[in-house]
Amino acid sequence: MDLHNASPAEPLHVSARDADSSTDGGPTPGTAAADAVLDNPAWSSLTGRHGHLAIGNELVRRFPDDVSPFVGVKDWDHPEVWDAILDVFGHEATVSVSHADPLLPDGWAPVFSIPGVQLVQTEHLETRPDEEAIELGEADATDMLELVERTRPGPFLPRTHELGRYVGIRRAGRLIAMAGERLHPEGWTEISAVAVDEEHRRQGLASRLVLDVAFGIQQRGEKALLHASATNTSAIAGYEKLGFALRRRLMFGAVRTP
């Protein structure tokens, strides 16, 4: 989720939910196959591409604490889901409920709730590799964390870079911009951690890196999606200009177990 530089809430001028996203690979938004994974991307990711990182049970799975705070829940309406969450997290723990807004049982408490949006690529997205972008990995982890600390693009932990391909731009040896892959719901890849140092903004670096990451996603025969705070209208407008469209509104949040 891209939360940096959030602006006051204002109306979003975005495309319809069932945006045409017909490219090779991945189910098209608006179809049952796409809706199933895009409505629950963390669960799809943790039971698929990121299954090797998953911790949990048949109803609830999470990433390791140093990888990502996101949690996958198979079915919020399952009668045993709350016991399954306690089994994974224990008592008095903070649990991500992003992409959901469940009715809490007695003893459970909300921690925070942020309105968000989910954007998916359309046929207008023209991806391309960037000649200045470099691949980032374990050796760059400290620099990536420092850039995140300066720019606050959303959750990014010491091993988040293990979730997928990350690219960045260095100037005079300093990492000044980056973007990469986070959740991998079936047929899709989420672009996240889009971060640019303040003194290098308004140069098109974020757009260039998003298109580079999206190019790699399409080369695998998948489609790209994004999440953003609903109040971050400048970022949303930028993503729309590149060729993304609103699929749905949702909530990002967390709850406290009893």
Shared-domain flag, residues 50 and 130:
no
Q: Which two tokens stand for residue 194?
A: 């889009």
Shared-domain flag, residues 176 and 198:
yes
Total structural domains in the chain?
2
Chosen domain end from 116, 136, 167? 116
pLDDT tens per residue across span 202-228: 999 999 999 999 999 999 999 999 999
Chosen domain end from 89, 116, 143? 116
Q: pTM of the prediction?
A: 0.87
pLDDT higher at 104 or 12: 104
Q: What is the CATH number of the domain that holds 213?
A: 3.40.630.30
Say how many C-beta atoms besides its own lie within 10 A of residue 235's C-beta. Answer: 23
pLDDT tens per residue across span 71-107: 999 999 999 999 999 999 999 999 999 888 899 999 9
Under 8 Å CB-to-CB from 192, ≥6 apart: which residues?
1, 2, 153, 154, 179, 180, 181, 182, 183, 226, 227
pLDDT for 153 beyond 50: yes
Under 8 Å CB-to-CB from 50, ≥6 apart: which residues?
63, 163, 183, 184
Residue 238 domain flag: yes
Task: Give the range of the structural domain holding residue 135, as residue numbers without chain letter.
Answer: 119-250
